[in-house]
Structures are given as structure tokens and as C-alpha cells.
Structure 1
Amino acid sequence: MSVSTRRIALASGSAIAVLLIGIFAVTQQRGADVFADCRQSVIAGGAGAIGGAFTLVDENGATVTDRDVLTKPSLVYFGYTFCPDVCPADMGRNVAAIDVLDEMGYDVTPVFISVDPARDKPEVLKEWTDYLHPRLVGLTGSEEQIRAAANAYKTYYRVPENPEDEYYLVDHMTQTYLMLPGHGFVEFYSRETSPETMAENVACFVDHAG
């Protein structure tokens, strides 16, 4: 075997070894993930990078933390009650999924966190959430509390500075987060996900959580 041929063979062998190590690592990581069969998305930094502790005010005016609210599997959404179309549509989808899950025998809590504290006082939230679903939990708080919660969930929103129009719009992201007790954040859903698809996927996660 010539020197050049030997070099090619060694290089090829090294490349194959690296490839096999990579495949083994991915397989091991997937095998260690109890939710591997349920995941539909890839989260940069891993699921543990999203979610965390928060302190907010519920629709009854009580100060609550994530430990008070997320006691069951929960679907968490950041929006605002004055939203003209996106938030009502997204939350309508979320509570429809909750109803499907109820029929399947799964108890899941829908949660709505306002990103518009100036207008979304507890009494406003209560009227809005009670209209959408009897189990929908509405959360608001100070600007600092809401910003901290949004940062923990890696979500974006922007309230106009000194708005002159009382019907101002708030720019915000629209993903819904699935949170599981003992696991934290495990999945998110886009606006395109149907209630039925969401319910089936949530059930998969709950089943695999044990």
C-alpha cells in the first residue's frame, strides 16, 4: 500500500469513527429521553433552557408562584386580552384541546399570562378567562414580574411606549408551552397546531411522564 493510499484509508477510517461516535451519542441521548417518542420540535440548548420560577398575580388578585399554578400538566400562553384576533384564536384552540383532553381522561390546566399589565388588571382577566373556559387561569402582575416570566420562557413581547391610543397593539410571540410537574417545559406548539393534534401530543407526554 502506498503512502498516499494509506493516508486516504486512515482518513476514511477516522471519518467513519467520528460518524459512528456521533450516531452513538445521539442514540444514547435519545434513549435517555423518556419523551423521545413524543417530541415534535428541537429546542436550542435543550428543554431545560426554557421555563423557570415566576411570581405573578392571578385573576382574583392573589400573588402566586409557578409552584401554585403549575401543579398539573399545563398549557401556558403569553398574550393580552385586548388582542383583536391572534390571542382569542390561539386561546380558543388551547381550550378546545383541553376539552378534547378531558374526553380522553387527561386533566390539563390552561394558563394565560398577560404581557399588557397596564390594561390587564385582575378583574379584566377574570371576565376574559371565565368567558373562554371555566378552568382557564389568568395571570398578570407588575411590568417587572411579567418581564421576568417572559425572559424565563424565552418569549418576546413589546408594549408601545407612551401609547396615545387606548386600543394600542402589543407585539408578542404566539407559541404555547407544555409544562409538566417534575419535568418543567417539555414541548411548544405553534399556531398551526390543531386542537386534536395538540391533545394527542400532550397525552403522549403525560403518559410518558409516568
Structure 2
Amino acid sequence: MADIFREIDEELQQEKAARLWKRYGPYVLAVAVLIVLGVGGYRFWLSYDAKQKAAQSARYETAARALAEDPAAAAAEFGALAQDGNKGYAALASLQQAAALVEAGDLEAAIITYKKLADDTAVPAVFRDLARLLAVTHRIDSGDPTELSREISALANTSGPWRPLAREAEALIALKAGDKSKAREILETLTADAETPAQLRARATELLSAIASE
């Protein structure tokens, strides 16, 4: 992570938030997936009998192993599990399907998958909100800042588990739009908030330093 922070100033000078997100976005997504697995996965794992769990777990693991070598195939496997798995596995599989599509270079299909999950009221809120967050963060490079700000505001202004990441995304969107003042305000709030995860606070601090040095 230290190398990433040292590059932040250079990235801000070149493409501001777009390239910056490309640098450390995967770390944010990795943290998000771990939180989802911890918050939701185990609870859903307990809700079905052992045979169902074993079969769906095997399918999930097979798709996960395929991800590194063939993201497109992994996306197809996760998509199939999302269609006929139980609620817990279906939601996790949808998230992984979208992540695999990103790896396969099909960002448009990934965004559609995230949005579909975010709009599915049958899915627990923790998964829907994460899907909404990821749908926005993957479009910081190319999306309209006004639209992205509107989409992320609901998560950024609640007390849900994704609030700090949503606030960070808001700051990146503001930087992409050229609004350094708004970005600075958001980042300062994050650094001052005791509930902000340490790694995220470190990123916010580095971003503030980079903005100040411009």
C-alpha cells in the first residue's frame, strides 16, 4: 500500500480520480467482499440443509478457482449459481459474477449485473447496497459526475456499513468533476470520523496531502 500512496500525487496531476481509482480500487473491492462474506455469508450458510450447502459451496468454489485463469467462464458459472442458488449464495454469486465480468473486460455487463442486484428487493439490503456502491465506483472513470453523485448519496448519508466507502467514492467523484473543495471537505470528515476504517483513513489522508500539494 505504501507504493500506492507515493504515487497518488502523480496520479492526481495526470488524470485525478480516474487513474487513482484504478490504482487502489481493487483494494476497496477486496475489503468490501470480505465484509460481505463476514456479515451475510455465514448467516445464509446456516439457513439450508447440509446437502444443499455442500452442493452450492462446491459450485461456488469451482467458479472461484476458474476466476484467475478464465474470468469469462467464471462469470458464466457464477451467473448460473445466481439463478438457482439459495438467497445467500445467489447474492454472493451475483457479486462475484460482476467482478469476473470486470476481470474479463466486460465492464458494461458488470454494471448491468450490479444494478440488477441493487434493484432486487428480494435481496438483503447489505448485498443490494454493496452492489449499488460497486456500480458507481466502477463508473468513476467514465460516468457523469452529477449522476454518480446522485446515485451514491443515499449510501453516503446513512449509517450503513458501506457509508465510509461511499463517502470516499463521493470524494473521488468530486475530484473527477474538478471540485477539489468538496473533495477536501469529504476527506477531512472521513479522517476525523472515529468509525472510519484505518486503511481508508490512511488513503483519505494521502489524498488530502496530494490535493494540498497541487
- Report the TM range for the smaller structure's normalisation: under 0.3
- Give the TM-score normalised by the residue count of structure 1: 0.23
Flag the structure with larger Rg.
1
Q: Quick check: which one's helix share is greater?
A: 2
Normalised to the residue count of structure 2, the TM-score between the two structures is 0.23
Q: Identify the structure with bigger relative contact order (alpha carbons < 8 Å, sequence gap 6+).
A: 1
